[in-house]
Structure 1
Amino acid sequence: MGYRILAETAMAVHFLFIVFVVLGGFLAWRWPRVIWLHLAAAAWGLCIVLFDLNCPLTYVEDRARERAGQSGLSRGFIDTYLTGVIYPERFLDEVRLLIAVVVAASYAGVLVRWRRRG
Structure 2
Amino acid sequence: MRLENIEDQFNQWVECALFVAFDEFRLEDSAQSKRLFNKIKSTISETMEPIRGMRENLRNVRTYTNYFFFSNDKDVMYLPADDRRFNVSPDKRPSSPPYSKTCSTWSMS
Structure 1 and Structure 2 fold alike (TM over 0.5): no
Query: Could you say which structure has the greater relative contact order, defined with CA pairs below 8 angstroms and 6 or more residues apart?
Result: 1
Please state which structure has a larger fraction of its residues in strand.
Answer: 2
Calculate the TM-score normalised by the size of structure 1.
0.29
**Higher helix proportion:** 1
